[in-house]
């Protein structure tokens, strides 16, 4: 097919901006934007439904640049099509406080749907977005009123396909028949270390056929019309589609095209001069001719697309006012007006029942109330539903009907795919309309960790249910016993970590997680039963750390001489130790700290009230001791080794997690 002059101009505008910005920053990846320029022209110029004036309108298509190192591609596209990304920001590429950071970041650059840097996570986010579209369409669309009807497009490269997470996510996309998901694969055969052939020999088309995808192989990625036709074909499929586009990395550069140097290095002044000549691009750096802007401008077409969708939504609202109101609420991420009462009643009920159950069961009890009240709660588990207890009577399993449509289920069986689950949940949250949660064992948070970090970085409301939170799971042994995981998760900025001690604390933790609109949450829950601990005030629990029991509560009329800080299953040890010490006339305050991350954000007055200056402190948690010393502890009872395989009760005694040892430690501290 012949390439039209206008499309050549559009593609070369991308190439020029990419090489100029990377050169000015002396940092970045010009090769992918230059090699994918025609692919971008085909998608953004002919198919993508978007409005530069309103990057958040619900009816837009989603676009994900999974190979995020090629960030100048999306920045060039956003600038050229009319988003609020002026040339000054492109000149400021990769510089402090610019809207053009080294990798695309959601919330920083208008039009960027997700933060992509760690390869493979972008396409996995896209799977989550496409799943959200499928589920919302099933829930809200009515005959003649398809208000949810958009595509999710993703650009990806060899690196994304080499990362194992792409296997987890793309296998699920095929199983779920996410036909509104279209991936365009930049098959250039080059990575940082050179030609990938010695270490990447996958037959990608057959791999995706095995996943149940529609595969369009052998497309010339430098032929706009060929890519355009492939996208049009993909949009008709009843399966997700991958379009395999053969490209030349750094296309247009006489000496760097097709080489690893084009991947991650500035071209250099002399090579840029030669590239301009080869492309017939006579303009100075960062100068785009008016004709190119005219060809790319999407402001008028975008406004028309949104206006059409708004008109359709107005008709939908007139026909189905309640559904329309619910759709608007959920896409805005707002909780219903009844939420505060729902949360208060669930917490009060847990407190009143005072049950002795594992906190994983307490979590399910809270979820029963919350999933009934919040249809946006979308659950799941990585093949451990019966252990994580993430299913409820309101969340039947997600399955497909004979025609590939959703059955309306709200509990997802992710299979043994912890990392994929975590990143898919990020995509669900980014899309909007859902508050996703998913479960696995705490020790497997290692598999999920980078996606958890990305959720925190992107400030997304995603809830991770991690059960079997300590050596208390017993016979499975050290491979499954979480020792360092609570401490490791607490180190992630922007992540709230809760390790509740009983049913009431668990209900509070769930309520706060649901309300945390701009941060993810990890709930660390026990396998073994934990007794309920009476509380003077339920409101205090939400502050992360609070006074659970004063000396007066064990019959002493003197002020506390020491403080025991505990979390989760160890709170009961602290309470028993308090009783033992009281017999000896030693007055101790017990502080329950279900969330150090929340407690650390409290004001100085609250912290001082809970942990008074001058009182020696002893912390106890069945995990590594690191992290507790910051509270000025004189001693920390923890476990800085790996566990053992034995019944839970045996292990707690073996590792000295007993009330007697806690009491003895307090005595030693007081004796100086």
Structure tokens given for 530: 């934990």
Q: What six digits make up the tokens of 53?
A: 């004036």
Instruction: Give the domains, in start order, of the chain with CATH numbers.
Output: 7-295 (3.40.50.970), 338-524 (3.40.50.970), 543-671 (3.40.50.920)
Residue 243 — φ and ψ, nearest 5°?
-105, 115
Give the active site residues. 418
- pLDDT of residue 1 exceeding 50, the answer is no
464 is in an annotated binding site: no
Distance CA 13, CA 587 (A): 75
Q: What is the pLDDT of residues 32-67, one digit of tens each?
A: 999 999 999 999 999 999 999 999 999 999 999 999
Q: Looking at residue 2, what is its pLDDT?
A: 42
Alpha-carbon span 311 to 50, nearest angstrom: 16
| Bridge partners for 592 per DSSP | 546, 566
589 marked as part of a ligand binding site: no
Six token digits for residue 531: 């007794």
Bigger pLDDT: 194 or 672?
194
Consult the annotation and say whether 84 binds a ligand.
Answer: no
Residue-averaged pLDDT of the chain? 97
Average confidence (pLDDT) over 527-535:
97
**How do residues 340-349 score in pLDDT, each as one tens digit?**
999 999 999 9
User: Binding site annotation covers 138?
Assistant: no
Residue 158 labeled ligand binder: yes
Q: Say what percent of the chain tops pLDDT 90.
A: 99
The reply to whether 410 sits in an annotated binding site is no
279-297 pLDDT tens trace? 999 999 999 999 999 999 9
pLDDT band for position 672 (cuts 50, 70, 90): confident
What is the residue whose two structure tokens read 């006074």?
547
Minimal CA–CA distance to 367: which of 341, 342, 332, 397? 342
Report pLDDT digits (tens) over 380-400. 999 999 999 999 999 999 999
pLDDT tens across 86-95, in order? Answer: 999 999 999 9
Per-residue pLDDT, averaged over 495-516, amounts to 98
Condensed to tens digits (0 to 9), the pLDDT of residues 442-489 reads: 999 999 999 999 999 999 999 999 999 999 999 999 999 999 999 999
pLDDT at 5: 74
Q: Establish whether 29 is an annotated binding residue.
A: yes
Q: In what order do the strands lie in the sheet with 62-65?
A: 62-65, 152-157, 181-187, 241-246, 214-220
| Residue-wise DSSP of 13-42 | HHHHHHHHHHHHHT-S--HHHHHTHHHHHH
What's the confidence (pLDDT) of residue 3?
A: 52
Contact status, residue 464 vs residue 496, Cβ threshold 8 Å: no
The 10s digit of each residue's pLDDT in 105-159 is 999 999 999 999 999 999 999 999 999 999 999 999 999 999 999 999 999 999 9
Q: What is the 3-state secondary structure (H, E, C) of 248-271?
A: CCCCCCCCCCCCCHHHHCCCCHHH
Whether 188 has a binding-site annotation, put simply, is yes
Structure tokens at 405: 């449509």
pLDDT at 207: 98
- Stated length of the chain: 672
């Amino acid at each position: 097919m012949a390439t039209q002059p206008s499309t050549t101009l559009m593609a070369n505008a991308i190439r020029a901006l990419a090489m100029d910005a990377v050169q000015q920053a002396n940092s970045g990846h010009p090769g992918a934007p230059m090699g994918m320029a025609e692919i971008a022209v085909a998608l953004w110029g002919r198919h993508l439904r978007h409005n530069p004036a309103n990057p958040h309108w619900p009816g837009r298509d989603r676009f994900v640049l999974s190979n995020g190192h090629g960030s100048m591609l999306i920045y060039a596209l956003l600038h050229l099509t009319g988003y609020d990304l002026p040339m000054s920001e492109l000149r400021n590429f990769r510089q402090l406080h610019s809207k053009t950071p080294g990798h695309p970041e959601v919330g920083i650059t208008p039009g960027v749907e997700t933060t992509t840097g760690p390869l493979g996570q972008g396409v996995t986010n896209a799977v989550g977005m496409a799943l959200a579209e499928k589920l919302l369409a099933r829930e809200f669309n009515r005959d003649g009123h398809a208000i949810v009807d958009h595509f999710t497009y993703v650009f990806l490269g060899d690196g994304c396909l080499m990362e194992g997470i792409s296997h987890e996510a793309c296998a699920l996309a095929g199983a779920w028949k996410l036909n509104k998901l279209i991936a365009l694969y930049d098959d250039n055969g080059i990575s940082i270390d050179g030609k990938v052939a010695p270490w990447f020999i996958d037959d990608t088309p057959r791999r995706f056929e095995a996943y149940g995808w529609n595969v369009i192989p052998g497309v010339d990625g430098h032929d706009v019309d060929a890519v355009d036709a492939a996208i049009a074909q993909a949009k008709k499929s009843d399966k997700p589609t991958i379009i395999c586009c053969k490209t030349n990395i750094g296309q247009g550069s006489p000496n760097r095209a097709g080489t690893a140097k084009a991947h991650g290095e500035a071209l250099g002044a002399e090579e840029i001069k030669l590239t301009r000549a080869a492309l017939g691009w006579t303009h100075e750096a960062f100068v785009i001719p008016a004709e190119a802007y005219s060809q790319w401008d999407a402001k008028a077409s975008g406004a028309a697309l949104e206006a059409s969708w708004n008109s359709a939504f107005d008709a939908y609202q007139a026909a189905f006012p309640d559904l329309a109101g619910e759709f608007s609420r959920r896409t805005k991420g707002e909780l219903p007006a009844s939420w505060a009462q729902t949360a208060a009643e669930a917490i009060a009920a847990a407190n009143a029942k005072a049950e002795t159950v594992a906190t994983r069961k307490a979590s399910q009890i809270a979820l029963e109330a919350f999933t009934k009240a919040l249809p946006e709660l979308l659950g799941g588990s990585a093949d451990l539903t019966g252990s994580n207890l993430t299913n409820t009577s309101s969340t039947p399993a997600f399955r497909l009907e004979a025609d590939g449509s959703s059955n309306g289920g709200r509990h997802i069986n992710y299979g043994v795919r912890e990392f994929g689950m975590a990143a898919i949940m990020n995509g669900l949250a980014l899309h909007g309309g859902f508050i996703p949660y998913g479960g696995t064992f705490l020790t497997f948070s290692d598999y999920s960790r980078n996606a958890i970090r990305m959720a925190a970085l992107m400030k997304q409301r995603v809830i991770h249910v991690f059960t079997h939170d300590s050596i208390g799971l017993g016979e499975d042994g050290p491979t499954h016993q979480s020792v360092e995981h609570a401490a490791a998760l607490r180190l992630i900025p922007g992540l709230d970590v809760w390790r509740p001690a009983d049913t009431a604390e668990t209900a509070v933790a769930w309520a706060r997680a649901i309300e945390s609109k701009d941060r993810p949450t990890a709930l660390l829950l026990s396998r073994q039963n934990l007794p309920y601990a009476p509380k003077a005030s339920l409101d205090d629990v939400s502050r992360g750390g609070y006074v659970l029991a004063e000396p007066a509560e064990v019959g002493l009329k003197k002020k506390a001489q020491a403080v025991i800080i505990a979390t989760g299953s160890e709170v009961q040890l602290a309470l028993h130790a308090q009783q033992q010490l009281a017999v000896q006339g030693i007055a101790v305050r017990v502080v329950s700290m279900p969330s150090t991350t929340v407690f650390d954000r409290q004001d100085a007055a609250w912290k001082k009230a809970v942990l008074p200056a001058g009182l020696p402190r002893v912390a106890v948690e069945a995990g590594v001791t690191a992290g507790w010393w910051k509270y000025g502890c004189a001693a920390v009872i923890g476990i800085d080794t790996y566990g053992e395989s034995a019944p839970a009760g045996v292990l707690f005694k073996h590792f000295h997690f007993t009330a007697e040892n806690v009491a003895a430690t307090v005595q030693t501290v007081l004796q100086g």
